[in-house]
Amino acid sequence: MTESEEILRIASKGDGVTASGRFAWGAAPGDKLRIDDTLEWGPHHVEPPCRHFGSCGGCQLQQLDEESLTAFVEGRVANASASQELGAEVLAPPHLSPPHSRRRASLRAESSGGRVVIGFREAKSHRLVELEECPVLVPEIVALLGPLRKLLITMGKAAPVKKGRHGKPAPGKVQARMAADIEMTLVDQGIDLGVKGLTAEGLAATEAMLDFAREHKLARLTMDGGYGFETVWEPVPVTVTLGGVKVPFPPGTFLQATLDGEEALVGAAREWLAGAPTVADLFSGLGTFAFALAGPETKVLAAEAARDVHFACKAGADRAQLPVFSVHRDLFRNPLQPDELSRFAAVVLDPPRAGAREQVECIADSTVSRVVYVSCNPSSWSRDAARLVEAGFRLVELRPVGQFRWSTHVELASYFVRD
């Protein structure tokens, strides 16, 4: 073996790869991997912007410069299309969301002995990394982390203590261990904070939560002790703006990770489906695409399985008086059938990571002529896209979108036309 080998590319899970097949975590294209597995940095290797990189499992690619990060996002999508012979010539330049733009986060909080840690887990570990900074999240979320730790300590002190024998507090166990899931989303009114796995025990804990919500001007504070979300604080109804429409936002609802990424995906759908008189928006969620596409000349059917999300979309459409017709329907168990789909000029679908195999089969058997497929998983998209091509569709354009900056998670928007 030579003294060192050049890193040629970054694999799908973020490891650098040499020509001989050696892998190195934290490498960049152009780095040299020495025989002792240490790295000599090359021209595309930069200093990671976050002190937690390498321990926090949230990011895998902070060592890449902008050029190689863009190439990674493009390559993930290009490989998915190439695997099904869908044509690389249709690939558009990637769109990457900037730093400090991610507006939602799912964190873990744990405490023991009076100390609270809030953060992401280490890669391939259950250990939590205490988050002191984050160049990915919007500043409003990061600013809440310190105060939130103090709030959870207060609540932990109010929680029941562990008892020893004879019903007395066990030695050294004056505070119960706490574990909770933290959901934070930037909405129209500020931060929507959800705490799952924890309840307020006693008047002191309840007052501490209310004081926290007032002081930090939360849009909403919800708690879920195992029986569903209960609203503790919500001075005005919480909404998110989609396509210029204020839509009610149920706790824990899916929202595109960044506003920037949402605009890129929505902009593609608007461009591709301009002039379509009728559109079926499948797996519609709150109506991210439905409200952007609906207008005087375009009617949209929005089909969604989650009941609360369906009602939120319906309320937003009613309030805005837009031609968006919301339908409560599980498209995995009961996809729109070919005869139903054939009534529409176009379809837009944004399914979960598993893709939409059953629904795509129905689209293939319909007479729909235009399809916009948005995906958060290039692998499942590749399978579904191959079925559309087999049915006579042509892939016109494919746009990679890197909403999750510095992670290996890649999204895409694609446009199919039936010739």
Report domain extents, the chain.
1-45, 70-98+255-417, 104-158+175-238
**Residue 172, pLDDT score:** 36
Q: How far apart are CA 322 and CA 294, in angstroms?
A: 7
- Amino acid type, 305: A
Pairing state between β 220-224 and 190-196: parallel
Provide CB contacts within 8 A for 196, sequence distance 6+.
180, 181, 182, 183, 223, 224, 229
**Residue 418, pLDDT score:** 94
Q: Is 183 annotated as a binding residue?
A: no
Annotated catalytic residue 313 = no
Q: Say which DSSP state 409 is in.
A: -
Q: Is 201 annotated as a binding residue?
A: no
DSSP for 65-119, written as a single string? -HHHHHHHHHHHHHHHHHHTT--GGGBPPPEEPPTT-B-EEEEEEEEETTEEEEE
Q: Is 256 annotated as a binding residue?
A: yes
Residue of 56, 59, 313, 376 marked active site: 376
- Secondary-structure percent of the chain, ordered helix, strand, coil, rounded to 5: 25, 30, 45
- Whether residue 128 contacts residue 104, with contact meaning beta carbons closer than 8 Å, is answered with no
CATH architecture of 70-98+255-417: 3-Layer(aba) Sandwich (3.40)
**Residue 206, pLDDT score:** 84
Q: How far apart are CA 44 and CA 70, in angstroms?
A: 12
- CB burial readout 297-336, b (16+ within 10 A) else e: ebbbbbbbbbeebbebbbbbbeebebbbbbbebebeeebb
Q: Is 3 annotated as a binding residue?
A: no
Beta strands in 153-238 (DSSP E): 178-187, 190-196, 220-224, 230-233
**Residue 87, pLDDT score:** 64
**Residue 173, pLDDT score:** 39
Q: Give me 32's structure tokens.
A: 């040299």
Beta strands in 141-276 (DSSP E): 178-187, 190-196, 220-224, 230-233, 239-242, 245-248
Query: Digits of tens for pLDDT over the chain (419 positions)?
Result: 567 899 999 999 999 999 999 999 999 999 999 999 999 999 999 999 999 999 999 999 999 999 999 999 999 999 888 876 676 668 999 999 999 999 999 999 998 666 889 999 988 788 889 999 999 999 999 999 999 999 988 876 655 444 445 455 444 333 457 789 999 999 999 999 999 988 777 788 888 899 999 999 999 999 988 888 899 999 999 999 999 999 999 999 999 999 999 999 999 999 999 999 999 999 999 999 999 999 999 999 999 999 999 999 999 999 999 999 999 999 999 999 999 999 999 999 999 999 999 999 999 999 999 999 999 999 999 999 999 999 999 999 999 999 999 999 999 999 999 98
Provide CB contacts within 8 A for 203, sequence distance 6+.
none
Between helices 66-83 and 378-390, what is the axis angle to 10°?
A: 40
Say if pTM beats, i.e. exceeds, 0.85.
yes
- CB burial readout 21-47, b (16+ within 10 A) else e: ebebebbbbbbbbeeeeebeebebbee
Beta bridge partners of 193: 184, 221
Residue 261's SS3 state is: helix
The residue assigned the tokens 């191959």 is 386
**H or E segment and range at residue 167:** none
Q: Say which DSSP state 313 is in.
A: H
CATH architecture of 104-158+175-238: Beta Barrel (2.40)
